[in-house]
Amino acid sequence: MPFDANLILIDGSVDVDSDTAASFVAATSVTRAAATGAAVIDISTYGTGLMGMAAVLIIPVLVTSSDYLTATIQASDAVGFGSDVHEVVKFDLAAVTLGRILSSECTSGLILVKRFTTDRRYIRAVITPTKGTGDGSFLYTQILLTPYPFRML
């Protein structure tokens, strides 16, 4: 994988399935949770800086249902996030509903890149799969950070 292991918000080791959506509790520790593959990342005391960072959402498989995935990135100055939470990224493709990825948008997998800046120290991803009709899941979903904000997008 071309990403630094220390910049992986969600590692893709757990099936993101709408049938088990309640188990996808947002990370509140820099230690990776075995149940979700998620962790809080300490980016810097000063945040991202003016150039920012890029967040990459990868859904590597075909999703064949009407399920959808709400995916955001939050920033905070507290590792446990508590009440000091700022949303810095909403992943979406068609922007019909900000922060929502429809299964129909994952006909051959999906990669989305969003650039962001923050002056907060800690970053975490929050994903919530929601069941529509059928039985599908967003297998092996990953959310990664890169300090290279892709100057030209």
Domains of the chain: 5-146 (2.60.120)
Condensed to tens digits (0 to 9), the pLDDT of residues 99-112 reads 788 877 887 888 99
Q: Is 107 left (phi over 0), alpha (psi -120 to 50) or beta?
A: alpha
- Band of pLDDT at residue 1, cut at 50, 70 and 90: very low
Taking each continuous run of H as one helix and of E as one strand, the counts in the chain are: 0, 11
Condensed to tens digits (0 to 9), the pLDDT of residues 70-94 reads 889 999 999 999 888 999 999 988 7
Q: Please, what is the end-to-end C-alpha distance for the chain in angstroms?
A: 22
Identify whether the C-beta of residue 22 lies closer than 8 Å to the C-beta of residue 70.
no
Say how far apart CA 27 and CA 140 lie, in whole Å.
17
As a whole number, the mean pLDDT across the chain is 82
Say how far apart CA 14 and CA 49 lie, in whole Å.
32
Condensed to tens digits (0 to 9), the pLDDT of residues 128-145 reads 887 765 555 777 889 999
Interacting residues of 34 by C-beta distance below 8 A, sequence separation 6+: none
Query: The tokens of 132 are what?
Result: 């529509």
Say how far apart CA 87 and CA 137 lie, in whole Å.
25
